[in-house]
Structure 1
């Protein structure tokens, strides 16, 4: 527990972390994280702080690892799967797979930049936070587009597919409003943003239920393979949202999860 609780002021390249009361105002979002904050830094120092143990270290490196994974998957597809004659796929499948991976890569990169450069200034924080919202929106959009596209692949379900894709695209545009309109990226709209993304995620229940009914008496094996995974995905995402919104576990153990194990 001591390792989780303590986030000492490390002096690496002249960078020290500070307590909540001494942190830049625009980075004070969670009073239950009592220390491990980086002070105002130049962009160069921010990148040096990747090697300083702070309350952003885990956020930065987990997203950086995710970026490397998705880049690796894309390169594997390009240089290993596509040249193999046994893996010939329709162009639409190739394009959709590339689109999904690129969206995930943008999401990971945007989060890395946001968490790395958030302590440059308040204005820089808002810009990078806006980019982070854009990345999350793109990842959401990619997940839904790919799921709906293949879930309603058959020609007889093309109309339903287009309706669900239209609904998802509308929600994507609504999410983009939080990027395009500067005032909507402020902390005052955080609750609205969370409700929008929660509603966007919940909207996937409708096409999932429809897809289940379509395959219930026609192709039960595909349900046995994919439906449990979809349910698990929603349970994990729902639990993650609750952890984030309610600041679990640091709300109940202030100062105990400053740099490792906090809600975000």
Structure 2
């Protein structure tokens, strides 16, 4: 009887509320708006479906099974995934900018002022750099190679920068008229050939291949964008959660694998056996990690520690090539410089994985870090910091190999 009386009182209250609505407002439309307002509210952990229950220490501000439109718009609202989305979304745009900068500027990574050259040669080099774009191409100067070699006694004093030849630079720089063998032009060429040779000697720089560096940048962008998308969309439905989590794990594996491409390739580019061995091993391990991540059982919360350990172990597999690099190039300051960056990167990733697995600090104060400061957000920040540290190491590798080539290997 008490239940019936309670139901009757609720019905009367609803009827009175409807009667108080303005006559100009459709009762049906008003009811739909009220329903939407209630339906898309944030809920607590205990109200979530089982597949969305991942961290019991985050107690509220969840978006359970919202429509896709509302899920997408929630990127601009406050909930417990807001900072998870934006920490990696901002990281994605950071690395997109670094990729564009690298493509445009880093081929000129060698700083002329850092070369151990006389000041006169440095000044001449800048003059030649200004003249190169304005001079027409020259079809053939190979007959003069013997004479030009005799005018470049100082080249042996410079580092073995690359496989460029003096004739290739002259071919692209000197005016076309010098390709003809009339007496006047030959005399003119002989009178200036020593000056030209001295000018181009420091220009014998051919940037090494950049694909390992861009592979890393691509892996970083894929990881950050996949993670951001996963945190934004996973609340929509169980099916989309299943897809997004696998995309997220694939992104992490891609970042770890491609992070080893620059150090392995540039350290062992002159030792093809070890270069292919290390690159092949880390690539196969990355593919295996992605395949394991596709197993449905791997997604259960009780496997959180195993997931973190697997990716951490994948990162630790890079210790061998780094130690090998130090043994081979102990006398090179660049080897120590890059190793310092790589150790710092490992510290960032390691601390991030530890925080992720232990759920610190929210496990100490459940509900206090729902919006900001919980473990996953800290993990994201440390991942971006580690990836940026590795980018700086990559710049050192590029400058080192552009200057040194395979000299001393």
Determine the structure 2 residue equivalent to 1:4: none
> Which residue of the other structure, out of 276, 282, 287, is the alignment partner of 1:162?
276
Determine the structure 2 residue equivalent to 1:3: none
> Which residue of the other structure, out of 233, 237, 247, is the alignment partner of 2:345?
233
Determine the structure 2 residue equivalent to 1:176: 290
> Runs of 5+ in structure 2 lacking a partner?
1-35, 110-128, 130-202, 377-409
TM-score by length of 1: 0.84
Secondary structure in structure 1 of the residue aligned to 2:57: coil
Asked if 1:123 corresponds to 2:148, the answer is: no
Q: CA deviation at 1:174?
A: 1.0
| Residues 67-125 of structure 1, C-alpha deviations (whole Å, 9 max, x = no match) | 111222222334555699899634x31x3333222222211111121101111111110
Determine the structure 2 residue equivalent to 1:10: none
Asked if 1:251 corresponds to 2:363, the answer is: yes
1 CA distance for matches of 2:300 and 2:207? 44
Change (3 A) 1:81 1:161: closer
After superposition, residues 87-126 of structure 1 pair within 5 angstroms as 89-90=207-208, 92-93=209-210, 95-126=211-242
TM-score by length of 2: 0.56
> Which residue of the other structure, out of 76, 88, 96, is the alignment partner of 1:71?
96
1 CA distance for matches of 2:361 and 2:323? 33
1 CA distance for matches of 2:328 and 2:344? 20
1 CA distance for matches of 2:240 and 2:276? 39
1 CA distance for matches of 2:41 and 2:214? 41
- Greater Cα radius of gyration, structure 1 or 2: 2
1 CA distance for matches of 2:276 and 2:316? 18
Between the two structures, name the one with larger relative contact order (CA 8 Å, sep ≥ 6). Answer: 1
> Which residue of the other structure, out of 189, 202, 207, is the alignment partner of 2:321?
207
| Residues 203-246 of structure 1, C-alpha deviations (whole Å, 9 max, x = no match) | 11111111111122x31x12342222222222222111111111
> Runs of 5+ in structure 1 lacking a partner?
1-12
> Which residue of the other structure, out of 223, 226, 245, is the alignment partner of 2:335?
223
How big is the alpha-carbon RMSD for the aligned residues of Structure 1 and Structure 2? 2.4
1 CA distance for matches of 2:352 and 2:334? 27
